[in-house]
Amino acid sequence: MNDETLTQPAGLDVQSSGAHLRRYLAVHRAAMRALAGWIITAPRYEDKYVFGYQLWDHARHALALQHRLTELRGGISDASIEPRLETALGELPHGRNTAEFTDGLHLGVVGALQAAYAAHLTVAHPAANAPEIILLNQIVPDLRRHQDWARRRLEGCDAPDPSWREYLLAQLQGAFPLAAPPDAARPLPRPHAQQFRRPATIVTDDRIRRGGLLAFEDRRRLSYTEEVAEQFKVFFNEMYAACILASVLYDAASSAVPLDFLCDVAHHCWDEVRHSEFGAIRLRELGLAPAQLDPILFEEAEGMPFLHRFCHLTLNLEVFFMPRKRPRKEQYEAAGDHSSRLFADIDWSDEINHVRYGKRWTEWFLKDDARSVEDLKQEVESHLMTLASYRHRKARALAPF
């Protein structure tokens, strides 16, 4: 035994490691649900984009933590979550506005989680706890990046009342004993009565007006430059798909569904956020600005259960739009339009993957159900036929966009 060995931290045994990792996983899952709700709710599309990226970060980290828990003896990821921690995390979405939500999540809860990770790394044994050390060191930079964004974002608006962040932190008191052991302090009273309700439409600010998108057939009659501009307005409009998926994740996260499903939905949501971002980027390159969003497909899906919404998006809408993908990419390629071609190429590849998600998970959810996927799609159609907007398009054989 040498001097270096004598100075090593005592380390964490399997039971202790599992207890801490379960707490961390619970925070990442709660952050996923809260961010999904605010992708729909935040008025600024720039915030929606950032929340989409952060959602996928938390999903990746949740998957990695769950994987490590399955490797530990007795590491059941959904077991032994303290009721107080579960209650505290349930409060995450309830900020009164985007700034207060951001402050509470990133500078409050994520800050507490980052402190817990730092404390965990301090006591972890470099050999015995090497898997956890590697895992946490992969997560910490993302959390730091989220906090840095939050600080910059909050500098550009009215500073939120810190009482919501302070309340959340007080609720979490003792949740991460390595960082801050429990004390006798009483939780702070709730500073307001706001209760988050997932919106039934996509919230936007006054820069974005509703509708105004040309039909596919009308776009084809324009000059190339005009057509490209209109097509990237449709790319920007893929925010509707991101918000359908955000609604699926928000609603499903409170049910007993596999984390793998939530993470596939998070990945799909992030992809659609990026596709909308493609539209915003390309429109600016063309000297324009995003100004239109048609939430009709989101609103038409809103009255359905989450599985029907997911099935409709992946196995109806994604499949319907798929034949346009290759010709669009080839059109841009023939014109030497690199930016448009790049975005169309990535979009096409992503959408193929999304249909795979749809097939995988609708079949999984129906494995012990008397219904088939086709039965589920018929239930979707029956719901849509109750809506005047859908019946109008159906009667005139009109594509949505």
**pLDDT number for residue 292:** 97
**E strand or H helix that includes residue 230:** helix 224-236
Residue 183 has pLDDT above 90, yes or no: no
Q: What is the pLDDT of residues 143-166, one digit of tens each?
A: 999 999 999 999 977 789 999 999
Residue 73 has pLDDT above 90, yes or no: no
DSSP assignment of 42-91 = -SSHHHHHHHHHHHHHHHHHHHHHHHHHHHSTT--TTS---HHHHHHHHT
Name the average pLDDT for the chain.
94
pLDDT category of residue 3 using cuts at 50, 70 and 90: low
**What residues pair up with 209 in beta bridges, in sequence order?**
292
Lowest average pLDDT, out of 98-102, 125-129, 393-397, goes to 393-397
* Contacts of 334 by beta carbon, 8 Å cutoff, 6+ apart: none
More confident residue, 184 or 136: 136
Query: Contact 279/236 with Cβ under 8 angstroms?
Result: yes
Q: How far apart are CA 33 and CA 254, in angstroms?
A: 9
Q: What is the pLDDT of residues 328-385, one digit of tens each?
A: 999 999 999 999 999 999 999 999 999 999 999 999 999 999 999 999 999 999 999 9
Give me the mean pLDDT over the 297-304 stretch.
96
pLDDT category of residue 21 using cuts at 50, 70 and 90: very high
**pLDDT number for residue 7:** 75
Lowest average pLDDT, out of 1-5, 115-119, 307-311, 337-341, goes to 1-5
| Entry pTM | 0.95
CB neighbour burial string for 71-82, b if at least 16 within 10 angstroms, e if fewer: ebeebebeeebe
pLDDT category of residue 81 using cuts at 50, 70 and 90: confident
pLDDT category of residue 4 using cuts at 50, 70 and 90: low
Fold match, 9-171 / 209-395: yes
Lowest average pLDDT, out of 28-37, 88-97, 131-140, 158-167, goes to 158-167
More confident residue, 191 or 5: 191
Start-to-end Cα distance in the chain: 71
Residue 187 has pLDDT above 80, yes or no: no
Q: What percent of the chain has pLDDT above 70? A: 95
Is 240 exposed, middle or buried, given 0-12, 13-18 or 19+ CB atoms closer than 10 A? buried
Q: Where are the beta strands (DSSP E) in 86-151?
A: none
In CATH, the number for domain 209-395 is 1.20.1260.10
Residue 31 has pLDDT above 70, yes or no: yes
Q: Which of 6-15, 170-179, 345-354 has the highest mean pLDDT?
A: 345-354
**pLDDT number for residue 1:** 44
Query: Contact 71/14 with Cβ under 8 angstroms?
Result: no
**pLDDT number for residue 80:** 60
Q: What is the pLDDT of residues 269-284, one digit of tens each?
A: 999 999 999 999 999 9
**What residues pair up with 292 in beta bridges, in sequence order?**
209
Q: What percent of the chain has pLDDT above 90? A: 85
Residue 2 has pLDDT above 60, yes or no: no
Question: What are the extents of the domains in the chain?
Answer: 9-171, 209-395
Classify residue 258 by its DSSP letter: -
**pLDDT number for residue 283:** 98
In CATH, the number for domain 9-171 is 1.20.1260.10
